[in-house]
Structure 1
Amino acid sequence: MTDPLHPPHDRAAIPLAPSLDPTLAQEHMRSRLPRVRRRLVATTLIAMALAAFVALIAHALTRLIALVTHVAFFGDWSTTWVSPAHNHRGVWVILIPVIGGLLVGAMARWGSRAIRGHGIPEAMEQVLTNESRIPARMIWLKPVSSAIAIGTGGPFGAEGPIIATGGALGSFIGQLLPVTADERKTLLAAGAAAGMAAIFAAPLAAVLLSIEMLLFERRARSLVPVAMAAATGTAVRFALEGPGPVFPMAALLPASVTALAVYTLLGLLFGVIGVGVTRLVYGLEDLFERLPIHWMWWPAIGGIAVGVVGYLVPSTLGVGYENIVAVIGGHLGLGALALLAFAKLVSWSIALGSGTSGGTLAPLFTIGGALGGLLGIFLAHWPIAQVDPRMAALVGMAALFAGAARAMLTAAVFVFETTMQPHALLPLLAASVAAYLVSGLLMQHTIMTEKIARRGVHVPTDLVPEHPLHQGNA
C-alpha cells in the first residue's frame, strides 16, 4: 500500500555486515539461491493446494448465506441464491436482523471477539503484530458468523469474511509447518487472495489487494505463491459456477478525452466522499462505544436499523449484488439511485459501526455505483461532457473504494475484472488515482487501518527495498 502523502519516518540505511565486503556479500547470496528457490517452489505448491480448498470454502459460504436467507426470510430450506428483498414478512422483517445480531454478538463474546468487523483490518493486525498467527477457531467462526449476519439481512458482502477465513486457514497451515514468519505471511495472503478470487473471479485484483493491504512488499518470494493461489481460486470458481463476469453489463464505448477529464473530476469528488464515509463509520463506532451495555448487544441494536431500513427499502437487505448489476446496467432512474445510495449507506454504516460481522467491498461498490450513476445521469444532459451514466457508475464504484481504503490499483482492476469492460480501464484508473490523492490529503488513516491504528499499530504506507543481506529469500 503506497501513500506518498504520509511517508513513514526516515529509515537509516542498513550497512553491510562488517565481516563481509561487497564481493563476499554477493558470493553469500549466490550460495543461498538454490535453497531459496526450493523453498519458494514448496511454498507455491502449498499455496495452490490451500487456494483450492479456500475456493471450496468460498463456494460453501455463499451456499450457507443462501440457506440462512431462505430460512430467515422465506421459511424454507434451499441453498439457491435468493435476494431477501423479495420476502413477504411485512413489518416482522425488522426482527430478523435483530435476531442475527444477537447470534453474532453471542458468537463474538463466547467464541472470539476477532469475528467482529469486516475481516481485513483484523488480518492486517495479525500480520503486523503477531507474525501472521491467527487462531485456528477463526477458520469456522468468521464464515459462520458472517453467514448469519448476511443471511439475516446484514447489508454486507461475502468478500470480507472469506478473505479473513482464507487468511486464517493460510496462517494455520503456516503454524503447523516449519516455515519462517515471512512464509507464514505469504500463506496468509495466499489464502486471502484465493478467497477473494473465488468469490469475484478477479485474480489480478486479489493479488493487488494482498500487496496493498497484507504483504506490504512486492517480491518474488511472496508474489509467486499469492499469484498462483489467486489463479487456482479463480479456476475452481470457474469449474463450480462457470466463467463470466460477476457483474455483467452491455459493452461500453471508449471514453473521449473530454469524458476522461470529467471522470477524473468525479474521482476527486469520490475521494472526498470516501473520507466522509470513513469518518461516518468510525463516528458511529465511537457512539456504540459510549453505550452503557456490553458490546455483545451492539450488533442487535445495529440490527434494528438494518431491519427498519430494510422494511422501508427492501433492496438494502443482504449482499445486494443484483443492485450493482442494475446500477451499472442503467436500469435505475434518478429517484431509485438516490434512495438506494442513501438507504444502503445508513444501513451499512450503522451495522458496521455496531461491530457485527461482514464485508465492505460490496456495500461501497453499491453506494459508489449508485452515486456515480446518479451524477452520470445529470452530466449526460450536458452534451459537452460526453458522459455515459453506466461508465460513471463504474467510476463511482472504484473511486469510492479507492478513497475509503486507499487501494487505488485494487479498486480499478477489481471493477474491470468483475465487469470485463476493457474500455473502462482508463477512466477507472484515472478516477481511482484522483480519489486516492484527495483521500491522502484529507485523512491519515483509512477505513481499513483506522481501527488498528487506534490500538497503536503502525501500518506501513510505502513499499521500500531492503538490502540484499536482509531480504531472506527475496
Structure 2
Amino acid sequence: MAPERSRFSSFIATSLAGLTVLSIVLGIAVGLVSVAFHYLINGWSYLMTGFSDYPAHAGDAHGFLGLSPVFIIAVPVISALLYSPVVEHFTPGSRGHAVPEVMFFVRRKGGRIPGRNALVKLFAASLTLGGGGNAGREGPIVMIGAAISSWVGTRLGLSKQRLMFLCACGAAAGIAATFNAPLAGACFAVELILGVLSAEYFAFIVFSSVSASLVAQQFFPNQASIPLGQSLDLFSHSDYILVTIGAVVAALAGIAFSKLLYLVWDGINLLYHGKDWFRPVVCSLLLGIFLYFFPLLYGTGESVQLRVLSGDFPVWMVLALLGGRALGASFTISMGGAGGVFGPTLFVGACAGAAFGQVVQPWSASSTAIYGVVGMGAAFAAASRAPLTAVFIIIEMTRQYSLILPMMLAVGIATGISLFMTRSTIYTQKLHRRGDRLSDPVSDTLLGRSTASDLMHEPPQLLSQELTLAQAERALENSGETSLAVVDSQGEFQGSVSALLLGHEIDKRGEDTPLRDISLTAAFCTPTELPSQILKELVESSLSNLPVVGRSQEVLGYVRGRDLIVKLYRQQTRALNQRELGDSLGCRIRKRWRNHRHHR
C-alpha cells in the first residue's frame, strides 16, 4: 500500500491533471459539508424555537412545544453552554470570526490548519447561528473548507505552495456552495485568502468553486440566495448621481460596523474577567434578552434582509434594524460566538442603502431596492477592501446582472473611501490587534527572517589572545578556516584575526608578538540579527566567518559567508524546480525529448 500512496502523492504534487482531480474532489467534499452545515443550523433553530426560520414567526410561542416566547432568552444560553467548553478545550484562542484565522494560516503558516478546527467550528457555528447568534455563515464555512483541504494536502505530503492553494480551493468551495455564487467564491479566495492572483491556480480554484455549487444545487433550488422576485434596472442616467451618494452612505455604514465590532470586543474584555469558556454563556443571557425584544434579528437574518430590500419596512424600522444588526453581530462575535462578519455587513449595507433609497425616492426614477442592493456591495467593499468579491457576490446572490455598472461604481467609491479612512479591514484588524501581519517584505526575501542563531555553526576553534602570531597562524591553517575569533582568559570576545591580517602583522611586528598587541577585526553579530546585517558586516570587515556573540560576550558560533551563498543557491534552485513542476504535460514531454536527443 505504501508505494501506491507514494505514487499517488507524487502524481498530485507534480501533475496538473492530479491537481485538477484533487480540486474537484475537494469542491465536492466541501459542498457536501456546506449542505450539512445548512441543515445543522436550521435543525438547531427548529429544535430551539420550533421554526427553521424564526424571524418569519417573530414573537410566536415555540412551534411544537408551545413554550412562551420568553423561552427565546434561554436559547442562546443553552447553545453557549454546549459549544463554549468544546471550543475552549480543542481550539482555545480561535473565538470570533474565522476568516482572519484562515488568512493567517494560509499566508504565514504555509496553509497548515489543524484538522480538528473544522469539526469544532462546524459544531460551534451550527449552535451559535441556530441558537440566535447574529452572525454570518461564511466565516465558519471558509474555515471548515480550508481546514479540510489543508488536512488532505498535508496527508498527501504536498509542498507549502500547493497546500496554500488547496486552502484557497476549500474556502472558495465553501462560499460558492453557501451562497450559490461560484465566481464570487473564487474571487473571495484570491482576494482575501491568497492575496495574489495566479492564472494557473485561479483555474483550479474555479474547479473547486463550480463543483461545490453543483453539489449544493442537488439539495437546494438553483435560484438566487436573495430572490427579489423582480428585475431591477436603473431607469435614468441621473440616478447614477444618487447611486454615488448612496455608495458613500453605505460605505460609511460598513466602516462604522467594522469599528463597532472591535469597540464592543474591547468593552467585553474590559468588563469580563472570568473564565474564558464561561464568557459566551454569560454574554448569551444579554443576547437572549436582546432577541426577546428584537426577534426579527434572530440568527443570520437572510429573510429579514430580503424584506428590507423588498420595501416591507418604513425608514425608521430599517434604521432600527441596521443599528440592531450591527450591535447584535458585534456582540455575538465579540463574546466568542462562532460566525462570520460577511452576512452582517451585507445586512448593514442593505439597510443603509434601502433607507437612503426611500428618502430619495421622490427624485429617483428607479426602484428603492436598487439602492439597497448597491448598498450591500458598497458596505462589504468598504469593510473588506475586496472589490471584485463585492461586485460578483452581490450580483450572483441577487441575479441582478443589469446592476453590474452601478455596482462597480459603488464598490469603487467604497473601496476608495476605505483606503482613505482606515489602515486595516474588518478581517485584518483582528490580526493587527494581536501583532500579526499578513504581508512581511522581509519574509519575501530569499533568506527571509532567518536569524544569526538559525544560520550559525559551532565555532571550530577559539584563539587565546596570549598566543603568538606564529601559533595563531598554525592554528588557523589546521582549522581550515580563513578567520577565527580571539578571546581573553575569561572567554570574552576580543575580535577576529584573519590569515591576511596575520601575514601583515608578522611582517610588521615579528612572529613572537602576542595577539593581544595587534588590532583585531571587531566585527560580530548578535543571535537575533537578520541576514541583511550579517551580510553588511561580512562585506565591510572582509571576514569570511562572522562570530555570533552573546550577551556575556561569549562566542556562540560562526556564520559563514559561503553558507549564506549556498542557502541562496538552494532556494533559487527550489524555485526553479517548482516552476518546472508547473509546466504542462506537453511542455515536460518536449523538454525530455530534447534532452534525450541532446544526450544521444
For the superposition of Structure 1 and Structure 2, which TM-score range results when normalised by the shorter chain? 0.7 to 0.9
How do 1:180-329 residues align onto structure 2 when only pairs under 5 Å count?
180-249=159-228, 250-290=230-270, 291-329=272-310
Match for 2:409: what amino acid?
A
Shift of 1:399: 0.8
Q: Is the 8 A contact 1:202 1:418 kept in 2?
A: yes
Task: Name the CA distance, whole Å, in 2 between partners of 1:169 and 1:279.
Answer: 31
Match for 2:291: what amino acid?
G
Q: Is the 8 A contact 1:63 1:81 kept in 2?
A: no
Structure 2 residue runs of 5 or longer lacking an equivalent are: 1-10, 62-67, 447-571, 583-600
Matched, 1:61 2:48: no
Query: 1:119-147, CA deviations, whole angstroms, 9 ceiling, x for partnerless residues?
Result: 11110110122111111111211111000
Q: Is the 8 A contact 2:257 2:345 kept in 1?
A: no
How do 1:121-140 residues align onto structure 2 when only pairs under 5 Å count?
121-140=100-119
Which one of 170, 173, 176 corresponds to residue 149 of structure 2?
Answer: 170
Matched, 1:359 2:335: no
Task: Name the CA distance, whole Å, in 2 between partners of 1:433 and 1:113.
Answer: 38
Matched, 1:52 2:28: yes
Q: 1:375 to 1:236 in 2, by over 3 A?
A: same
Shift of 1:42: 1.3
Q: Is the 8 A contact 2:75 2:132 kept in 1?
A: yes
Match for 1:321: what amino acid?
E
Question: Which one scores higher on RCO, CA 8 angstroms, separation ≥ 6?
Answer: 1
Shift of 1:156: 1.7
Shift of 1:470: 9.1
Q: 1:57 to 1:37 in 2, by over 3 A?
A: closer
Shift of 1:388: 2.5
Q: 1:114 to 1:221 in 2, by over 3 A?
A: farther
Task: Name the CA distance, whole Å, in 1 between partners of 2:20 and 2:352.
Answer: 41
Query: 1:28-74, CA deviations, whole angstroms, 9 ceiling, x for partnerless residues?
Result: xxxxxxx9995222112101101101111111111111111111112
Match for 1:338: what amino acid?
L
Aligned to 2:498: none
How do 1:377-456 residues align onto structure 2 when only pairs under 5 Å count?
377-381=358-362, 383=363, 385-456=364-435
Shift of 1:300: 2.2
Q: 1:471 to 1:285 in 2, by over 3 A?
A: farther
Aligned to 1:41: 17
Q: 1:263 to 1:115 in 2, by over 3 A?
A: same
Q: 1:228 to 1:355 in 2, by over 3 A?
A: same
Task: Name the CA distance, whole Å, in 2 between partners of 1:418 and 1:278.
Answer: 22
Q: TM-score, normalised by structure 2?
A: 0.68
Task: Name the CA distance, whole Å, in 2 between partners of 1:392 and 1:286.
Answer: 33
Task: Name the CA distance, whole Å, in 1 between partners of 2:94 and 2:213.
Answer: 25
In the alignment of these two chains, the number of paired residues is 431
Shift of 1:269: 2.6
Q: 1:69 to 1:115 in 2, by over 3 A?
A: farther
Q: 1:276 to 1:82 in 2, by over 3 A?
A: closer
Q: 1:471 to 1:327 in 2, by over 3 A?
A: farther
Q: 1:159 to 1:351 in 2, by over 3 A?
A: same
Larger radius of gyration: 2
Matched, 1:339 2:297: no
Task: Name the CA distance, whole Å, in 2 between partners of 1:144 and 1:248.
Answer: 28
Shift of 1:84: 5.2
Aligned to 1:120: 99
Q: Is the 8 A contact 1:309 1:343 kept in 2?
A: no
Shift of 1:212: 0.8
Aligned to 1:83: 54
Q: 1:214 to 1:323 in 2, by over 3 A?
A: same
Shift of 1:371: 1.6
Structure 1 residue runs of 5 or longer lacking an equivalent are: 1-34, 75-79
Match for 1:100: what amino acid?
S
Structure ranking higher in strand proportion: 2
Give identity over the alignment, percent: 27
Query: 1:337-380, CA deviations, whole angstroms, 9 ceiling, x for partnerless residues?
Result: 12211211121111111121012222111121112111100011
Aligned to 2:49: 73
Aligned to 2:128: 149
Matched, 1:107 2:86: yes
Q: Is the 8 A contact 1:117 1:356 kept in 2?
A: yes
Q: 1:432 to 1:301 in 2, by over 3 A?
A: farther
